[in-house]
Amino acid sequence: MKHYIPARYPNAHPSGSPRRRYTRREAERLIDHAERILRFCENLLASL
């Protein structure tokens, strides 16, 4: 859940904004996952 609600709602964590809750490594890993999902969806749509 760390990557779902708090990243979309800036006030979800009383301790601060979402950008302060992720390490660089976590952020890079999540960006990689998002890019993979995007490529999968693009390929799926292209095959329709």
Measured distance CA(7)–CA(18) in Å, rounded: 6
Q: What is the pLDDT of residues 3-46, one digit of tens each?
A: 777 667 777 777 777 777 788 999 899 999 999 999 999 999 99
| Contact between 6 and 13 (Cβ < 8 Å) | yes
pLDDT at residue 38 in the model: 98
pLDDT at residue 4 in the model: 74
pLDDT at residue 39 in the model: 99
Given its phi and psi angles, is residue 16 left (phi above 0), alpha (psi -120 to 50 degrees) or beta? left
